[in-house]
Amino acid sequence: MTKSIFIDNSRLDTEFLNSIYEDDNEHAVVVFEQFLVNYPVLMSDIEESFIAGDTELLRQKVHKLKPTLSFVGLTVAAGKAEMIEKKCKETYEVSQLADLYNDLKMVLKEYIPAVEEEFKSLQAY
C-alpha cells in the first residue's frame, strides 16, 4: 500500500480522500486551493438566497457546493448540505431551513481550519 499524501486528520475523511486522489498530490493541491478560494463565494451566494427567502435558488447553490465539500474530505458537511437540499424541495419557507443551515455553517466554521491545514501539508509534501 502506498503512503497517504494526507495527514492523519480526524476532522477530514482521509479514507475517502485517499480513494479519490490516491498518490496524486498535484491534483489534490489544485483542488484544495480552488476550494479555499471558491468556498467563501459559494457560501456568500447561499447566504444571499437564504436572506432573500428563495428556497429554490438556495437548493441550487447548496447543490453546487455539496460535491466540492466531499473533494476536500468534508463528508460530514456534505451530508448536512444534502439535508438542506432535500428540505428545500419540501418547503418554500426559508425559516424551516434555518436550523439546518446554521448547523452547516457551524460545521464548516469548525472544519475549514482542518482543510487549510491539509492544504499547507499537501503543498509541503
State the nearest-atom distance from the C-beta of 19 to other proteins, in Å. 5
Give 71 or 105: the residue with its C-beta nearer to other proteins: 71
Give 38 or 98: the residue with its C-beta nearer to other proteins: 38
Task: Say how far apart CA 29 and CA 125 lie, in whole Å.
Answer: 10
Give 32 or 50: the residue with its C-beta nearer to other proteins: 32
Q: Which residues bind other proteins (CB under 8 A)?
A: 16, 19-20, 22, 24, 27, 30-31, 34-35, 60, 63-64, 66-68, 70-71, 78, 82, 85
Task: Say how far apart CA 63 and CA 75 lie, in whole Å.
Answer: 14
